[in-house]
Amino acid sequence: MTDERLNEIGAIILDAAITVHRELGPGLLESAYQIALKREIELRGLKVRAKVPIELIYKDVPLGKIYEIDLLVEEEVIIENKSTEGITPIFIAQVITYLKLHNKKLGYLINFNEVLLKDGFKRIVYKF
């Protein structure tokens, strides 16, 4: 997938997240935002899978599907949803780890528990 297409998908994700935040506001559980965001992205014509398992391989030994990606858009872009007091470095590290483990370039960390969504929206790239 081209970098241009990834950026187009990112713009669609941002627009969908703004719509969800406008409709639901802050203060709900992550699961509510995940379901709503999945639907909103699908309404924009993109394929989305929720709760996608990631297998951990340690020293060439598969240890099982330990992690879950909240949303995977077009099989290329990872979204991690949060509903917390703020974005912390550990949340950013989590998305970077998911990008590495799933061999993807682009991810978004979205914290819906903000008055303004722009304060909770973070684009994260890995080998972009």
- Separation of alpha carbons 52 and 83, rounded Å: 19
| pLDDT of 126 over the 90 cut | yes
Q: What percent of the chain is predicted at pLDDT more than 90?
A: 84
CA atoms within 13 A on the CB side of 124: 25
- Separation of alpha carbons 7 and 27, rounded Å: 29
The CATH fold of domain 3-125: Trna Endonuclease; Chain: A, domain 1 (3.40.1350)
Whether residue 50 contacts residue 36, with contact meaning beta carbons closer than 8 Å, is answered with no
Better-predicted residue by pLDDT, 65 or 16: 16
- Close Cβ partners of 38 (under 8 Å, ≥ 6 residues apart): 48, 50, 71
Please state the domain extents for the chain.
3-125
Question: Around Cβ 11, how many Cβ atoms within 10 Å?
Answer: 9
24: tokens are 């639901």
pLDDT digits (tens, 9 = 90+) for 59-87: 999 898 888 999 999 999 999 999 999 99
pLDDT given for residue 50 in this prediction: 97
